[in-house]
With several copies, the nearest count.
Chain A
Amino acid sequence: MSADLSTAAIVLDTVENAAATPDQQQPYRELGLKDDEYLRIKEILGRRPTEAELAMYSVMWSEHCSYKSSKVHLAYFGETTTDEMRSRMLAGIGENAGVVDIGDGWAVTFKVESHNHPSYVEPYQGAATGVGGIVRDILAMGARPVAVMDQLRFGPADAPDSQRVVPGIVSGVGGYGNSLGLPNIGGEVVFDSSYAGNPLVNAGCIGVLRADDMYTAHASGTGNKVILYGSRTGLDGIGGVSVLASDTFSGDGSAGAGSNARRKLPSVQVGDPFAEKVLIECTLEVFAKDLVVGIQDLGGAGLSCATSELASAGDGGMHIVLDAVPLRAEHMSPAEILSSESQERMCAVVTPDKVEGFLEVCAKWEVQADVIGEVTDTGRLIITHHGEVVVDVPPRTVAHEGPVYRRPIERPAGQDALQANTSASLPRPSQDELGDLVLRMVASPNLCSRAWITDQYDRYVRGNTVLSQPADAGIVRVSEDSFLGLAMSTDCNGRYTMLDPYTGAQLALAEAYRNVITTGATPTAVTDCLNFGSPEDPAVMWQLSQAIHGIADGCAILGIPVTGGNVSLYNQTGATAILPTPVIGVLGVIDDVRRRIIPGIGHDDGETLILLGETYDELDGSEWANLVHGHLGGLPPRVDLEAERLLGEILLAGSRDGMVSAAHDLSEGGLAQAAVEMCLTGETGARLVLPPGIDPFVALFSETSARVLVAVPRTEELRFTEMCTMRRQPWVKVGVVDADDPEGQFLDVQGIRRIPLAELRKAWQGTLPAIFGPSVVGSSEL
Chain B
Amino acid sequence: MLFFKPAEGTTAVARVAVDVVIKSEILDPQGKAILAALSRTGHPGISSVRQGKHFDLEVDDTVTDEDLEEIAGHLLANSVIEDWTVTRLDTR
Contact = CB atoms under 8 A, between A and B. Distances in A.
Direct contact of A and B (CB under 8 A): yes
Interface of A: 121-122, 125, 231, 234-236, 262-263, 265-266, 268-272, 274-275, 328-330, 342-343, 366, 777, 780-782
A329 B29 contact: no
Given A122-B78, A274-B33, A268 B26 contact: yes
Q: Which 7 A-B pairs have the closest CB atoms?
A: A272-B29, A235-B25, A270-B27, A780-B27, A122-B80, A782-B32, A270-B26
A272 B25 contact: no
A329 B80 contact: no
B48 to A, nearest CB: 11
A268 B81 contact: yes
Nearest to B28: A270
Interface of B: 1-3, 22-23, 25-29, 32-33, 36, 78, 80-81
Given A121-B80, A125-B81, A268-B80, A236 B27 contact: yes
Given A270-B22, A270-B28, 18 more contacts: A122-B80, A122-B81, A234-B27, A262-B25, A263-B23, A263-B25, A265-B26, A266-B80, A268-B80, A270-B81, A272-B27, A274-B29, A274-B33, A343-B27, A366-B36, A780-B27, A782-B29, A782-B33
Contact of A265 (B1, B25, B32, B78): B25
Contacts of B23: 263, 265
Contacts of A235: 25-26
Contacts of A275: 29
A782 B32 CA distance: 8
B27 A330 contact: no
A651 B22 CA distance: 53
Contacts, number: 55
B26 A777 contact: no
Contacts of A782: 27, 29, 32-33, 36
Contact of A329 (B2, B28, B33, B78): B2
Contacts of B22: 270
A330 B1 contact: yes
A231 B26 contact: no
Contacts of A236: 25-27
A260 to B, nearest CB: 14
A383 to B, nearest CB: 23
Contacts of A343: 27
Contacts of B33: 274, 782
Contact of B29 (A122, A265, A777): A777
Contacts of A777: 29
B23 to A, nearest CB: 7
Classify the interface of chain A: helix, strand, loop or mixed.
Answer: loop
Contacts of B28: 270
A673 B23 CA distance: 47
25 contacts: A121-B80, A122-B81, A125-B81, A231-B27, A234-B26, A234-B27, A235-B25, A235-B26, A236-B26, A236-B27, A263-B23, A263-B25, A265-B26, A268-B26, A269-B27, A274-B29, A274-B33, A275-B29, A328-B27, A342-B27, A343-B27, A366-B36, A777-B29, A782-B27, A782-B36
B49 to A, nearest CB: 13
A122 B36 CA distance: 23
B47 to A, nearest CB: 14
A262 B80 CA distance: 15
Contacts of A263: 23, 25
A480 B25 CA distance: 43
A330 B81 CA distance: 19
B56 to A, nearest CB: 16
A269 B29 CA distance: 12
A275 B80 CA distance: 22
Contacts of B3: 328
Contacts of A272: 27, 29, 32
A311 to B, nearest CB: 27
Interface core residue of B28, B29, B32, B36 (most chain A CB under 10 Å): B29
Nearest to A777: B29
A264 B49 CA distance: 24
Nearest to A342: B27
A231 B75 CA distance: 24
Contacts of A328: 2-3, 27
A303 B56 CA distance: 31
A151 B29 CA distance: 26
Nearest to B32: A782
A265 to B, nearest CB: 6
